[in-house]
């Protein structure tokens, strides 16, 4: 009597493939997290040093308000301005991707990109999992310095947000991570067409520091520049999450802002993926 084994159903085969893929990237995340936690002392020290300039910032803006003779500038009182600049550190904690664009361009230039092409490993998926592990390690290890800073500066915050605002703030930070990651990835993809991207990165990062609202709230800019910059994705890396926490963006404007942030994240994902596919058409690497 002949027996035949029925072939696996497409659904079961797809499920196993998804499970293997998720397990692969979970292992990458676990290894990257252990690796980054090995540098926890460096994270703590760098966090503490990064927060020292806040003293200068507080003195600077105090002088600005005193010199202007006004208690409020573009809807921001002095306490709100200091609170905003403190919150920008949290925004940048999620959205900044130091070294990402440069590393992508370096892998392209030196031919190291082939390690992603020869193995069942998607480069962007690998890098984003690695960055998630890096961010978690950084947030955990730098929690104490930031907690001390915000405790010492608690009098700059008039009140804590309500539950809805907390949720919106958390969502805006998560989306800020994706906006920041894929924006940096897009810049790194320039390595397919440019031999050296250092100058480009310097220009882009300098402009980003200004147009993202890192230096000051975009509301301080005259019209139409404030509205123009708020239409671009850069505000979601610094300004928007801080403004949400402070209640400067509420109601319908809040939900429109979150939808726009999600839309920009999707646009940047598709752009990075598209640039990667276009770049591979002209990419070549030799050697072992």
Instruction: Look at residue 200 and tell me if it is in a domain.
Output: yes
In a domain, 287, yes or no: no
Per the structure block, which two tokens stand in for 90? 């949290």
**What is the pLDDT at residue 50?**
66
Indicate left, alpha or beta for 75 from its phi (over 0: left) and psi (-120 to 50: alpha). Answer: left
Q: Is residue 15 part of a domain?
A: no
Q: Is residue 273's pLDDT more than 80?
A: yes
Helices (H) and strands (E) in the chain, counts: 13, 2
Mean pLDDT of 216-232: 90
Quote the pLDDT of residue 16.
67
- % of the chain residues with pLDDT over 90: 38
User: Is 83 a domain residue?
Assistant: yes
Side-chain-side CA neighbours of 69 within 13 Å: the count stands at 0
SS3 119: coil
- Concatenate the DSSP letters of all residues of 174-233 into one string: HHHHHHHHHHHHHHHGGGGT-S--HHHHHHHHHHHHHHTTSSS-GGGSPTTHHHHHHTSG
* β-bridge mates for residue 77, sequence order: 72
Is residue 246's pLDDT more than 70?
Answer: yes
In a domain, residue 227? The reply is yes
Looking at the structure of the chain, the number of domains it has is 1
Residue 5 lies in a domain: no
**Across residues 156-178, what is the average pLDDT?**
93
Distance CA 104, CA 101 (A): 5
Residue with tokens 């100058």: 199
At residue 264, the pLDDT reads 96
Q: Is the pLDDT reported for residue 69 higher than 60?
A: yes
Predicted pLDDT at 238: 94
- Rounded CA-CA distance 71/79 in Å is 10
- Domain-located, residue 6: no
User: Which H or E element spans position 77?
Assistant: strand 76-77
What integer pLDDT is reported at residue 267 of this predicted model?
A: 97
Q: Which residue has the tokens 């590393």?
A: 103
Q: State the sign of the Cα–Cα–Cα–Cα dihedral 76, 82, 83, 85.
A: positive
Q: What is the pLDDT of residues 79-98, one digit of tens each?
A: 999 999 999 989 998 999 98
- Highest mean pLDDT pick, 2-6, 55-59, 105-109, 118-122: 105-109
Bridge partners of 73, per DSSP, are 76
The domain containing residue 158 runs over which residues? 20-280
Q: Which residue in this structure is represented by tokens 């084994």? A: 5
Strand-pairing partners, residue 72, are 77
Sign, CA torsion 202/208/211/217: negative
User: Quick check: 76 pLDDT over 80?
Assistant: yes
**Whole-structure pTM value:** 0.84
Within a domain: 108: yes
Q: pLDDT at position 284, please?
A: 65
């Amino acid at each position: 009597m002949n027996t035949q084994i029925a072939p696996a159903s497409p659904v079961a085969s797809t499920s196993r493939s998804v499970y293997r893929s998720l397990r692969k990237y979970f292992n990458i995340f676990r290894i990257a997290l252990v690796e980054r936690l090995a540098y926890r002392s460096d994270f703590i020290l760098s966090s503490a040093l990064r927060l020292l300039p806040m003293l200068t910032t507080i003195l600077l803006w105090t002088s600005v308000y005193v010199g202007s003779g006004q208690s409020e500038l573009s809807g921001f009182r002095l306490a709100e301005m200091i609170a905003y600049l403190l919150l920008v550190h949290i925004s940048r904690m999620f959205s900044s991707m130091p070294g990402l664009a440069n590393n992508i361009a370096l892998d392209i230039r030196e031919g190291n990109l082939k390690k992603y092409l020869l193995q069942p490993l998607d480069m962007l998926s690998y890098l984003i999992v690695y960055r998630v592990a890096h961010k978690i390690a950084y947030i955990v290890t730098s929690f104490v310095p930031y907690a001390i800073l915000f405790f010492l500066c608690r009098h700059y915050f008039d009140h804590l947000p309500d539950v809805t605002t907390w949720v919106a703030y958390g969502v805006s930070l998560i989306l800020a991570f994706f906006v920041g990651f894929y924006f940096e990835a897009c810049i790194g993809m320039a390595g397919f067409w440019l031999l050296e991207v250092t100058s480009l990165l310097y220009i882009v990062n300098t402009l980003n520091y200004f147009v993202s609202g890192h230096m000051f709230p975009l509301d301080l800019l005259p019209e139409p520049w404030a509205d123009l910059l708020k239409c671009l994705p850069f505000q979601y890396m610094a300004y928007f999450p801080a403004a949400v926490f402070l209640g400067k963006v509420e109601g319908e404007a809040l939900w429109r802002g979150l939808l726009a942030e999600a839309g920009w994240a999707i646009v940047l994902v598709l752009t990075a993926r598209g640039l990667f596919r276009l770049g591979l058409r002209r990419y070549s690497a030799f050697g072992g």
